[in-house]
Amino acid sequence: MKPTSDSKPTQRMRLENTALRLLSDARLARLAAEGDRVAFAVIFDRYHQRLFSYCASLLRNRDDAADAVQSTMLRAMNALDGEQREIAVRP
């Protein structure tokens, strides 16, 4: 579902996001591979804090850790695009 020109999520998007949160990681990964950006957003929401904590413990700098998480998640999103194999999502 494409966002509207309004920057606030529509009620339908919020309901879709809530429903997707109930799905398994494997199902979310499959949907993200098929181009569903809301499914990828749910994956991001599910794992970004743990990934940030890990990066911050290694890098000892919150800004660098945030950059590492952003870079990692962008690469993950690009790698999922069109992927046919089953993907094991984990932090």
- Model confidence over 58-86: pLDDT tens digits? 999 999 999 999 999 999 889 888 888 88
The answer as to whether 22 is a domain residue is yes
Q: Which domain holds residue 42?
A: 11-80
The answer as to whether 5 is a domain residue is no
The answer as to whether 4 is a domain residue is no
Number of other CB atoms surrounding residue 82 within 10 Å: 9
CA–CA distance, 58 with 89 (Å, rounded to integer):
21
- The tens digit of pLDDT for each residue in 26-51 reads 999 999 999 998 999 999 999 999 99
CA–CA distance, 7 with 4 (Å, rounded to integer):
7
Query: Closest Cα to residue 89, out of 58, 47, 57?
Result: 47
Does pTM surpass 0.85?
Answer: no
